[in-house]
Amino acid sequence: MATLEQNGNEVKGQPVWAMNQPELINSLGADSQNGLSEEEAESRLGCYGLNTLETKSKQGALRIFLNQFKSSIMLILLVATAISAFLGDWTDAIIIGIIIFASAVLSFFQEYHASQAAEKLKDSVAHKVSVKRGGQNLRIPSTELVPGDLLLLSAGSLVAADGIVLDSKDFFVNQASLTGETFPVEKEAGTISNDASLAQRNNMVFMGSNVHSGSASVLVTHTGMATVFGQTAHHLLLQPPETEFERGIRRLGSLLTEVMLVLVISIFVLNILVDKPVIDSLLFSIALAVGLTPQLLPAVISVNLSKGAKSMAEQGVIVRRLAAIENFGSMDLLCTDKTGTLTVGVVQLDHLYDPDGEEPDTIKELVWVNASFQTGMANPLDEAILRSLDLNDVKAQKIDEVPYDFIRKRLSVIADMERGRVLVCKGAFAEVLKTCTVVRSQNALQPLDAAWKEKLEGKFAEWSAQGYRVLALASLTITDGQVHFSKEDERGLCYEGSLLFMDPVKPGIAENLADLKALGVQIKVITGDNKLVAAHLAHSLGLADPVINTGDMIDQQSDQALPIIAEQTDIFAEVDPNEKERIILALQKRGHVVGYMGDGINDAPSLHAADVGISVENAVDVAREAADFVLLQQDLGVLEKGIREGRRTFANTLKYVFMSVSANFGNMFSVAGASLILPSCRSCPNKSY
């Protein structure tokens, strides 16, 4: 068996997407024609293990419960309980013990299910795959895939491992779960630069994606936890970062510990200097130190957080991690995707313009015929057209269809209409424009010369800059009674107009953002959409001069420079999951308490990294499990209520801390001073007390 050296996305120290095919095949000890032999595959399976997202041993209920006692405050109280019991004060020992136990139980029940996220990932990739082994096509469980296997993919296949495309035909893959890209991406053989981002690796397929159309043979390079998908699962195994509130409680515990240590030593030494008995002085010093501790603090925190969780549940927010409620109160940055949060999340047809900038009914009829008669894959753009245009009374009869494909990027429907037999073509602007030789202007046909092309391309650029997705519409009148058509018939067309689609911003979102700003919370948009769409969104939200940066720019920045740039940026466009997480960590380095809102598998690392991870009810299981909060509705108004509730809970907790600690300090220092003056019990006539 060939010795394979795998590290992340590398084989023998090189990124697999940048290696030429012969070099990669040789490095993997593979056979691009016949695939691995059964014996070799079995040997490699023993070496690399099953192609599953193996996790560390799950934390049991007992371990999660014991973790509740790790905080310094809890440890101090446990010591206080032990000292009280040692001194024979069983009443105090029992009371403090009950408080500690009750606080731990409340926190335990809120966090018990948080360790299940990786299991959700494992379940999502259990299926069989087609491979070529020993020259034969076989169906095997996906768990038995190994590096070097020849994986055969076709439309509808789930991709069960990371690999390099060896050859393909019209091969498009939906990898939105990993990169957030809305539309399928074409994959083809070739090499790309070493520093290509995840979304730019068009010669690779990734575990967790699925084939939209076409077919391909893929050389498996990484399986299990070595895949990009597996690295996402690895993030879910990490402990969530310490919240700002937890840091505050830890610092308070550290401060109390230091004060108690100084107090014990000082009081003990001073009492010895004034000839107090050694044992009495030691016990008295320890008792004072214990009395300084706010014994009810864990209970107060747990009760406040539980009450806050109940109030937030009534507002449509499910709390999965109690300590994060406090972070709602101190959060000053919220990072979110635009789709469904800032926008409605439903594409709609905004405008239908002819070349002169008008919206005549004739164009609407052509668009409606194309969208209503096409029988290819369902897509949100045609659905938006049919929602927008209610033209069921149009008299038309379908004759034929030239289906959409990702090479032509257009779709043609041939129908008999009142004007005669017409081929109606709709698709990507550039692809439709190249089929046209004339343009319809003022109800007359004009040659599509250089001036017209410049004008149409200028409008396309203008609309794209405004964030619209622009499609073009063209037609051809059929005069010879032809009934069967192919893509070769899409020539000599007449340019009829342009379709502008938009995912509109939510009603009232500007007010929500203003309310959040009034609370001191700034919104930063992190999206996989292109820069032009992001710019349009910014203007729609009232940002006059937004600072927009792309994922490529993020990759080029050092860890020292990125925090400053991230803090000054309003919108991050064209980013992948790793870049999202890096942005959040950079903002935290600048002292911000960062919230992140996401609903996809690709959002899980960012949800873990953020101080406040927020997901929604209809999100994928992994995102929900990674989040601190789950919204029953994707609404920033709910978040505003959560922030107010977090601040209220935080304020109530601080009131007790200030009152308890200040009172205890005063009492303890008074008693400590008095101990230097008053005689010890051993010098009293009555030794019974």
Catalogue the active-site residues.
Answer: 337
Cβ–Cβ < 8 Å for 615, 609: no
Rounded to 5 degrees, what are φ and ψ at 173? Answer: -125, 135
What span, in angstroms and rounded, lies between the C-alpha atoms of 221 and 204? 10
- Residue whose structure tokens are 């109606």: 424
Identity of the amino acid at 130: S
339: burial class by Cβ within 10 Å (0-12, 13-18, 19+)?
Answer: buried
- Residue whose structure tokens are 């200097």: 273
Q: Angle 572-527-473 (CA atoms, 0-180°, nearest 5)?
A: 115
What span, in angstroms and rounded, lies between the C-alpha atoms of 212 and 185? 9
Type and span of the H or E element at 367: helix 361-373
Q: Helices marked H in 403-445 — which ranges?
A: 429-433
DSSP 8-state secondary structure symbol assigned to residue 343: B
658 Cβ neighbours under 8 A, 6+ residues apart:
none
CA-based nearest residue to 529, from 501, 510, 508:
501
What span, in angstroms and rounded, lies between the C-alpha atoms of 562 and 536? 24
User: Could you write out the DSSP letters of every residue in 511-561?
Assistant: HHHHHHHHTT-EEEEE-SS-HHHHHHHHHHTT-SS--EEEHHHHHHS-TTT
What span, in angstroms and rounded, lies between the C-alpha atoms of 566 and 547? 10
506 Cβ neighbours under 8 A, 6+ residues apart:
341, 342, 343, 344, 512
What span, in angstroms and rounded, lies between the C-alpha atoms of 201 and 17? 7
| Bridge partners, residue 343, by sequence | 505
What span, in angstroms and rounded, lies between the C-alpha atoms of 275 and 590? 54
- Residue whose structure tokens are 């720019």: 553
- Dihedral angle computed from the Cα positions of residues 241, 244, 246 and 250, in that order, rounded to the nearest 10 degrees: 110
